[in-house]
Chain A
């Protein structure tokens, strides 16, 4: 039963009271109010961070490249200075610290685990240096902040979010019959306006209905037309380049009512909202999300018995995420003893950190000491490096489909080497008072139903560090 605390969260801290009713413990963390962050250092808004991104893009593209046209070394030096002046190597460390503190020290670890699910569902992959400035803030302000709303609302906000519009090229999606299509420069430069299908395709395939719904290439094109016009505000184009707030701009929008998947959708700004409404309420969408939630929490290949209650909760609540989440937690509880879910590297690392009350992430105040003009110090630089080295950096997924939730995708000699090496690093993160064998007894008693078997195994090692490495590489820790 105790694996449930790791299945839906990150295990129990050594001094945490073992909940008498695990299901109530878990579902009570899913509230209609999104709790404040546990991280108490300075948190920057997406807008502020985007200003740094803007400075980076503008200075690099419009100033430095011009200024150092014939001086490669000079360009390199100026670019490095610009990196420091815009905090390029710092922000993602700060953001991961905020993210991880929810799991390791927060009072709502269940919500944290679900937050991670949704950040992966609405992935911003490694593109255009978004990870360095913006992805963490997007995950906070667009994803986490909307987890108390309906899926439709979350999907809409993610779709029109600046990071997503940029990430999936919707700023290049221009109606062939739009006002902009008739612009003189297009004729002069022989660049007729065309749609860009990228965002529309992923909205269907990855974010809402999935290919199981049977949409066609024609449907993708139709949706792309509806999505024309959603782009960074072009009135700032020269100085802000692509970094202005996203706004619906009629001049890029394909005029007229649209037919999408056999249904009529309004022209203009309302079209996308109506399309997201249609997609979010499509039966394939709730089935797809329910399946993905079960795959994340319960087992690689969920059954209909698992997904049905989640679909039902979706139907009943109109896709209200707290209700959908509670249903998923209940299913995870129901099948807890039958299925153990392989934990991805980030969740495994956070379980180790929470269960051992480790010094992870680095202290909040440590991040407040950062000043623009330099790089992060070695402690500040740990979060991003650790996650990247483990192959599971939450802002650097290689593709827009995010990271896999299948065990087989996390099994290779090098990935297991990471678990062995990072179990050692986890030990180094322990508080000095906890580096003893008695402490490990507590950790095991607190989190496992078979403590004696594990104690006997750990006792075969004299050194505490070896006990730690062994414990966190046991099959019952890899899975929950």
Chain B
């Protein structure tokens, strides 16, 4: 690492000034814009996915986990070599990484952390809706969300009638049975079930086998989102990032998970075709991992991580960071990459851009007026 935190910040700002302010304002544009969120469960190791170049503090703590053949992004950061799809986006100026960022949560529990990364709150399990669901509500979007998972993730809750897709084989009941059920649900004020039955009624009556791997799900999502009246929001999940042992380097468990994430980026780009230019993909994780490897060649729960973003709504390809450094005193509690950017600022700015809604409205209605930074002009096209 040749730069200090101070001059890195200076460098970043210079770039940003060149692009102008670009503060988003409410727009009535009718262009359909899509937001895709990929949740990376288990704690994504940002120092494995986007390693810092030439930092001895890093290298000495990760002797067996240092990657060979990384893809150099700029003078300071490299990309994990399995992220080929993302690298293509980077080359096309459609890939951005926000580094050293996280939700404001430091307790290192997966489950509390995942609850907060989806709710956007600060106290685990207190908020029953997700930041994305509330953002959609603030933008007046209904029936626009699609989860590529069997359950409806918390992140999408808060706006009615979201849909999900996860294939199974079998036959749905007759319309008469569905109508009778709907009458019963109405009588018993089962509003949520009524909403779901309405969605189910529009599905094919007989479903034959379809694959449920990430590639197939991303293909389906891309096909649906490409349609003018298709969903505008999609949520994916990739699990398995919790590599306490045998994390691996270029090959291994962590890199397999990154490959899964990469597959979604690449497949969506291919399937969305021109609509990829009106799309923004962002990732989300509960925390990063310790800088130091353990003796099982894994890493422990940490704090700061990174956000991967792809799509034509990005301003440019960049590693956007307020780099905290990796010296002992710069680490969070002496063990973790610090977080210098509240990742909710990135998500709020993303929603402001994609949903064409004022940042402050998002800040107030989705994040309870908390002190978040509008990063729209730095990260996204106006």
Q: Which residues from chain A sit less than 8 Å from chain B, CB to CB?
A: 168-169, 171-174, 186, 190-198, 201, 205-206, 211, 217, 389, 391, 398-401, 408-418, 420-425, 457, 460-461, 466, 469-470, 473-475
Q: Are B295 and A172 in contact (CB under 8 A)?
A: yes
Give the residues from 152 to 197 in chain B that come closer than 8 angstroms, CB to CB, to chain A. Answer: 152, 157, 163-166, 168-174, 176-177, 180-181, 184-185, 188, 190, 192-193, 196-197
Give the CA-CA distance A169 to B151 in the complex, in Å. Answer: 28
Interface segment, one of B14-22, B28-36, B105-113: B105-113
B residues near A195, Cβ cutoff 8 Å: 294
B residues near A401, Cβ cutoff 8 Å: 110-111
Candidate in A201, A401, A425, A473 with the most chain B CB atoms within 10 angstroms = A473
Q: Are A172 and B196 in contact (CB under 8 A)?
A: no
In the complex, what residue of chain B is closest to A204 when comparing beta carbons?
Answer: B109
In the complex, what residue of chain A is closest to B107 when comparing beta carbons?
Answer: A211
A residues near B163, Cβ cutoff 8 Å: 413
Contact of A389 among B168, B174, B203 (CB under 8 A): B168
Give the CA-CA distance A193 to B292 in the complex, in Å. Answer: 12
Given known contacts A194-B295, A470-B177, A412 and B107 CB-to-CB distance under 8 angstroms: no
Say whether chain A's binding surface is mostly helix, strand, loop, or mixed: helix
A residues near B199, Cβ cutoff 8 Å: 413
Whether, in the assembled complex, B378 has its beta carbon less than 8 Å from a beta carbon of chain A, the answer is no
Given known contacts A172-B244, A413-B164, A461 and B180 CB-to-CB distance under 8 angstroms: yes
Give the CA-CA distance A414 to B220 in the complex, in Å. Answer: 15
In the complex, what residue of chain A is closest to B161 when comparing beta carbons?
Answer: A413
Given known contacts A391-B151, A408-B157, A425-B170, A205 and B203 CB-to-CB distance under 8 angstroms: no
Q: Which residues from chain B sit less than 8 Å from chain A, CB to CB?
A: 41-42, 63-64, 107-112, 124, 128, 147, 150-152, 157, 163-166, 168-174, 176-177, 180-181, 184-185, 188, 190, 192-193, 196-197, 199-200, 203, 207, 239, 242, 244-245, 292, 294-298, 300-301, 333
Given known contacts A399-B239, A417-B200, A197 and B184 CB-to-CB distance under 8 angstroms: no
Contact of B176 among A398, A412, A424, A461 (CB under 8 A): A461
Minimal beta-carbon separation of B286 from chain A (angstroms): 11
B residues near A198, Cβ cutoff 8 Å: 242, 244, 300
A residues near B197, Cβ cutoff 8 Å: 416
B residues near A474, Cβ cutoff 8 Å: 181, 184
26 contacts between A and B (CB under 8 A): A169-B244, A169-B245, A169-B296, A174-B295, A192-B295, A194-B295, A196-B296, A198-B244, A205-B111, A206-B111, A391-B150, A399-B111, A399-B239, A400-B110, A408-B128, A412-B150, A415-B151, A417-B203, A420-B173, A420-B200, A421-B170, A424-B170, A424-B173, A470-B173, A470-B180, A474-B184
Give the CA-CA distance A474 to B245 in the complex, in Å. Answer: 46
Given known contacts A172-B245, A409-B151, A469-B177, A416 and B171 CB-to-CB distance under 8 angstroms: no
- Top 3 A-B pairs, shortest CB-CB distance: A172-B296, A421-B170, A412-B152
Q: Are B300 and A414 in contact (CB under 8 A)?
A: no
In the complex, what residue of chain A is closest to B202 when comparing beta carbons?
Answer: A413
Give the CA-CA distance A411 to B157 in the complex, in Å. Answer: 11
Give the CA-CA distance A192 to B64 in the complex, in Å. Answer: 11
A residues near B193, Cβ cutoff 8 Å: 411, 416, 475
A residues near B203, Cβ cutoff 8 Å: 413, 417
Q: Are A196 and B245 in contact (CB under 8 A)?
A: yes
B residues near A168, Cβ cutoff 8 Å: 244
Minimal beta-carbon separation of A442 from chain B (angstroms): 21
Minimal beta-carbon separation of B204 from chain A (angstroms): 11
Contact of A196 among B112, B180, B190, B298 (CB under 8 A): B298
Q: Are A211 and B41 in contact (CB under 8 A)?
A: no
Q: Are B164 and A414 in contact (CB under 8 A)?
A: yes
Minimal beta-carbon separation of B151 from chain A (angstroms): 6
Contact of B196 among A173, A411, A425 (CB under 8 A): A411
A residues near B109, Cβ cutoff 8 Å: 201, 205, 211
A residues near B173, Cβ cutoff 8 Å: 420, 423-424, 466, 469-470
